[in-house]
Amino acid sequence: MTALETIRNIGPAFGASLRRAGIMDAQSLREIGADAAYARLLENGERAHFIPYYVLHMALQGRPWNDCKGAEKDALRAKFDALKARHCDSDHAEMEKILNRIGVLPAKIKS
């Protein structure tokens, strides 16, 4: 059993989050892939955030976390948004839209 932290870009905190989601080692993470792993994180209560999502993709490719750019990043963003829509609380998302509309929350910046 190889530790998750042996994979580039996965440090102790990210490794702990993955283990809490039931992904216990590097081999298991590679077998299920980035999308399924991130879905497990969301189902386990992790807050949806695009950066850890693409960092996970880069990690499984052995690339630096900040190597994701341009069209590749745009495509991953679309996949992230779809994954988030399937696994996050839609009532919370609707409330966030309302708060954004009336100016309570700062406007989101597309990355």
Asked, for residue 107, whether it belongs to a domain, the answer is: no
Asked, for residue 79, whether it belongs to a domain, the answer is: yes
DSSP label of 110? P
pLDDT of residue 35: 96
- Of 79, 41, 39, 73, nearest in space to 58 by CA: 73
pLDDT of residue 89: 60
pLDDT of residue 81: 92
pLDDT of residue 101: 74
What CATH number is attached to the domain comprising 56? 1.10.150.20
Q: What is the pTM of this model?
A: 0.76
pLDDT of residue 111: 45
Contact 21, 40 (CB under 8 A): yes
Asked, for residue 109, whether it belongs to a domain, the answer is: no
Residues of the chain below pLDDT 50: 111
Contact 111, 71 (CB under 8 A): no
pLDDT of residue 103: 73
Number of domains observed in the structure of the chain: 1
pLDDT of residue 107: 54
Domain around 68: 4-101
pLDDT of residue 76: 96
